[in-house]
């Protein structure tokens, strides 16, 4: 973990024992205080390939917003996307590539232009 709280790794734990199986180095430092992590399809064309999505969507400063003209908090937040690591594969210190998806609260259908979210889930676009 960096001195500013940023992290550049994720960890996989055994579901029964709780022991650490592997730690995966990421090719980018992620902001501290992630709100959520979920598994979902990597794209709409191939629903069998899975990716991890790490959400940094929290915006506590925006809690006092009551209208669309609010300027408190952040207007853009991030979701980080990476291929689901295979715990049986050793990465030998090679970093996993991370894609950053920026979410602009000003262009979405949110109650204010400084929304706050504490979790996420991913679905395959069906249209």
| pLDDT 10s digits, 59-114 | 777 777 777 677 777 777 888 899 998 888 877 778 888 888 887 766 666 666 67
Q: Which of 1-10, 15-24, 57-66 is predicted most confidently?
A: 15-24
Listed in order, strand segments (DSSP E) in 6-48 are 7-13, 20-30, 36-41
Does the pLDDT of residue 19 top 90, yes or no?
yes
CB 84 within 8 A of CB 106: no
Radius of gyration over every alpha carbon of the chain, rounded to an integer in angstroms: 17
CB-side neighbour CA atoms (13 Å) of 50? 9
Residue 16: pLDDT band (50, 70, 90) is: very high
Amino acid 65: pLDDT = 75
Mean pLDDT taken over the chain:
79
CB 69 within 8 A of CB 93: no
SS3 content of the chain, % helix, strand, coil (to 5): 5, 35, 60
Amino acid 18: pLDDT = 94
Least confident of 4-13, 20-29, 55-64, 108-117: 108-117
Strand, helix or coil at 77? Answer: strand
Does the pLDDT of residue 2 top 60, yes or no?
no
Can you tell me the distance from the alpha carbon of 116 to that of 58, in angstroms, rounded to the nearest whole number?
Answer: 5
CB 83 within 8 A of CB 10: no
């Amino acid at each position: 973990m960096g001195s500013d709280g940023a992290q550049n790794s994720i960890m996989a734990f055994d579901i029964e024992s709780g022991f650490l199986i592997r730690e995966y180095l990421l090719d980018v430092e992620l902001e501290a205080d992630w709100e959520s992590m979920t598994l979902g399809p990597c794209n709409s064309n191939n629903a069998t390939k899975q990716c991890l999505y790490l959400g940094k969507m929290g915006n506590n400063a925006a809690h006092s917003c009551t209208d669309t003209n609010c300027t408190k908090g952040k207007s853009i937040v991030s979701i980080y996307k990476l291929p689901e690591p295979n715990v049986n594969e050793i990465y030998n210190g090679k970093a996993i590539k991370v894609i950053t998806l920026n979410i602009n609260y000003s262009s979405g259908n949110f109650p204010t232009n400084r929304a706050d979210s504490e979790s996420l889930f991913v679905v395959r676009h069906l249209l």
